[in-house]
Amino acid sequence: DAGVTQSPTHLIKTRGQQVTLRCSPKSGHDTVSWYQQALGQGPQFIFQYYEEEERQRGNFPDRFSGHQFPNYSSELNVNALLLGDSALYLCASSLGWGEQFFGPGTRLTVL
Amino acid sequence: EDQVTQSPEALRLQEGESSSLNCSYTVSGLRGLFWYRQDPGKGPEFLFTLYSAGEEKEKERLKATLTKKESFLHITAPKPEDSATYLCAVPSSNTGKLIFGQGTTLQVKP
């Protein structure tokens, strides 16, 4: 049984560019949540998707947007990248509001 | 406001030296408290879910306990491979959003 997968593993972008990160949930899960984790900090909630709709959103600007597909996979898009967007981006999947299982993360570096 | 605070921020132990990590939480209507282990540069690995005060769960050298205000992760006779950052989290009130503490970074020396 494959767990949560994310791609790419690492990404380097320059300020002002746009980036798309991808996530495939654990088999049987229907909900995907995205988190941003800065070095030395706990993960910060970005948003959650369920039934292809954004169900909950954290304190992140509109530059952060997402999508969930019919097969429950999800994308996170970030526009107009800033240096401060450099972080580990984590995807977690769950069955509804149940236990969240995390993927390996995507390390984004903005230069 | 929902909040999670972990202490200490860092902990150094000798192999075999038992200790405890603390997670204090404030949330309306607890719907579970989660413990994760995170290795550097990797995603958090799920360890335990605790739902009610008095509940305990064990996995190898780890035991998690829960009271109405805090949770403890007890590490018995740790080994160097237990070195990692341990995170606790609670779901925010009436949402699926997880509120994380800042983590406790554990280093176990041989």
B102: chain A residues, CB-CB within 8 Å: 40-42
- Please write the tens of the pLDDT for every residue from B35-70: 999 999 999 999 999 999 999 999 999 999 999 999
User: Using CA atoms, how far apart are residues B80 and B107, in angstroms rounded to an integer?
Assistant: 7
Residue B39's pLDDT is: 97
B96: chain A residues, CB-CB within 8 Å: 31, 33, 48, 50, 55-56, 94, 96-97, 100
- Please write the tens of the pLDDT for every residue from A31-63: 999 999 999 999 999 999 999 999 999 999 999
What value does the mean pLDDT take over residues B90-107? 92
For the cut 90, the answer to whether the pLDDT of residue A67 exceeds it is: yes
CB–CB contact A56 B97 (8 Å): yes
CB–CB contact A94 B44 (8 Å): no
**Nearest CA among A105, A45, A31, A85 for reference residue B4:** A45
Q: Can you say whether the dihedral through the CA atoms of A4, A7, A9, A13 is positive or negative? A: negative
What value does the mean pLDDT take over residues B7-30? 96
CB–CB contact A99 B43 (8 Å): no
User: Using CA atoms, how far apart are residues A107 and A87, in angstroms rounded to an integer?
Assistant: 6
Q: Give the largest CA-CA distance in chain B.
A: 44
| Contact between residue A102 and residue B45 where contact means Cβ atoms under 8 Å apart | yes
CB–CB contact A45 B87 (8 Å): no
